[in-house]
């Protein structure tokens, strides 16, 4: 018997495997924003395990974004790598201190990046996304 949860997981898996490189980056940013808001909420309600898990997942996404940069193909990749390094360090600090302030610092960086990548992904010449593999 196929349950709604099974169908949702299959749909999500299909969405990832059929997405273009630029769409994958936007999907990672979308999930990063979701994790940051989840961590912010969890910290505010003293849900320490929830905050910890959301912040760890956010760190994994930042590591994936960092690993997808090609500094040889895209001159701006080094600047973006520096931002990702800042995010990584700030996420660790947020998790250690369970600080909403650090989470908000990350959101202030991530949301404009997410919007920029989403806009770039909509342009016809966006494939392949330059410097991101």
For each of the chain's 133 residues, which pLDDT tens digit applies? 666 654 455 544 444 455 788 899 999 999 999 999 999 999 999 999 999 999 999 999 999 999 999 888 888 899 999 999 999 999 999 999 999 999 999 999 999 999 999 998 887 665 555 555 5
Domain covering 21-121 assigned CATH 2.40.50.180 in the classification: no
* Three-state DSSP state, 69: strand
CA distance 133 to 125: 15
- Token digits of residue 10: 């299959």
pTM of the entire predicted model: 0.81
């Amino acid at each position: 018997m196929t349950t709604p949860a099974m169908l949702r997981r299959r749909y999500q898996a299909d969405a990832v495997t059929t997405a273009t490189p630029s769409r994958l980056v936007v999907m990672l940013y979308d999930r990063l924003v979701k994790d940051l808001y989840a961590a912010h909420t969890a910290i505010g309600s003293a849900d320490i395990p929830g905050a910890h898990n959301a912040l760890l997942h956010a760190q994994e996404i930042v590591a994936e974004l960092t690993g997808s940069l090609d500094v040889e193909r895209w001159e701006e990749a080094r600047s973006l790598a520096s931002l990702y390094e800042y995010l990584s360090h700030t996420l660790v600090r947020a998790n250690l201190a369970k600080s909403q302030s650090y989470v908000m610092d990350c959101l202030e960086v991530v949301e404009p990046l997410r919007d920029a990548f989403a806009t770039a992904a909509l342009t016809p010449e966006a494939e392949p996304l330059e410097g991101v593999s």
